[in-house]
């Protein structure tokens, strides 16, 4: 029963993130990267979209967000220095 509940919780979290307009592949990747924490995945996806809009490369954004644990200011600093 525990596995089923976890799976349903995962599906619910993915569904909520998809409804916010994020792409399915990105949602699944973010959920895996943050051990299925919806809150952390949501922060990551939000910052990824923000930095993407600023013109930074997606692979670099992912790298710095993971390095600095989704800390916006620190991530921005690292991206600007690259």
Query: Domain of 76?
Result: 1-81
- Residue 20: which CATH number? 1.20.120.1920
**Whole-angstrom Cα distance, residue 51 to residue 21?**
16
Q: Write out pLDDT tens, residues 23-58.
A: 999 999 999 999 999 999 999 999 999 999 999 999
Q: What is the largest CA-CA distance in the chain?
A: 48
| Residue 80 binned pLDDT confidence (cut-offs 50, 70, 90) | very high
In the chain, the number of structural domains is 1
Q: Tell me the pTM.
A: 0.91
Concatenated DSSP letters of 24-56: HHHHHHHHHHTTT-HHHHHHHHHHHHHHHHTT-
Mean pLDDT of the chain: 95
Q: Are 29 and 11 in contact (CB under 8 A)?
A: no
């Amino acid at each position: 029963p525990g596995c089923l509940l976890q799976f349903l919780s995962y599906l619910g979290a993915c569904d909520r993130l998809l409804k916010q307009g994020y792409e399915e592949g990105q949602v699944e990747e973010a959920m895996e990267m943050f051990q299925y924490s919806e809150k952390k995945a949501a922060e990551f996806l939000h910052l990824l979209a923000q930095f993407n809009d600023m013109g930074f490369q997606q692979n670099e954004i992912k790298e710095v967000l993971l390095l600095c644990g989704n800390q916006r200011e620190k991530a921005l600093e690292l991206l600007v220095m690259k």
